[in-house]
Amino acid sequence: MHFTKVHGLGNDFVLVNCLEEKNLPDYAKLAKAVCDRNFGVGADGLVLILPAEMPGADIKMRIFNSDGSEPEMCGNAIRCFGKYVYEKGIVPKTTINVETLGGMRIPQLILENGMVTGVRVDMGEPQLERALIPMEGPEGRVINETIKVDGREFAVTCISMGNPHCITFVDKIAEQEVREWGPKLETHPLFPRKTNVEFVQVLSPTEVNMQVWERGAGPTLACGTGACGTAVAAALNNKTGRKVTVRLAGGDLLIEWADDNHVYMTGPATEVFEGEYFLK
């Protein structure tokens, strides 16, 4: 199987063009094997390029986490995806309609001298109603709501960016807290499909630090949808404006919750190497 290793701010993926690599084995099983950092290529997820099925879509993206689960969307992956399908001539457009399980997403390629130097993605509208996250409980939005896990209380704001996010604001981010409490919040009974968990420190009205515990992948260096959810949550809690730089372990993303209610994410996408993976 031919593959390309890519990353968005260190959130790394094995990207496979299934327009050429057909009849692959079970995707979930393949993801677990190929993403293994000791016995496989090593990655946070497996990203597949597939023919579009949705009306108006140019191409389709599926992603499988390193544990074999399939999330609805991934912000860092879609930047890498958009860059790849443009540069390989699969979709020769600088604005690409990408079908995902979370709905249509639209990366816009930023070019300098014909080279892709960044990608701005229309990530769609944030879903704020509890049932759409999804999250158990009464109707309405989940803004600065207290939930309990293992005797500790967390004030959380919950949002869907095509996939679920639980954001909690802290005075200072501690990595050991992310690793301890992230998986407990991910699997909290309130979240029927589990959730991504973001720990956020506000630095100024235009800047925040964020660390993430990703559903199905654990701690990663960056999470694009998480950065989008964080920007929306910060604005809803009056901690920042609607345009913020989200600082992640792997680098920065610029997030804007625009007047049209869409969230726009701008950041880099990097191709690292190509190779052949021997299917078993």
> Which residues are catalytically annotated?
74, 223
| Furthest C-alpha separation in the chain | 56
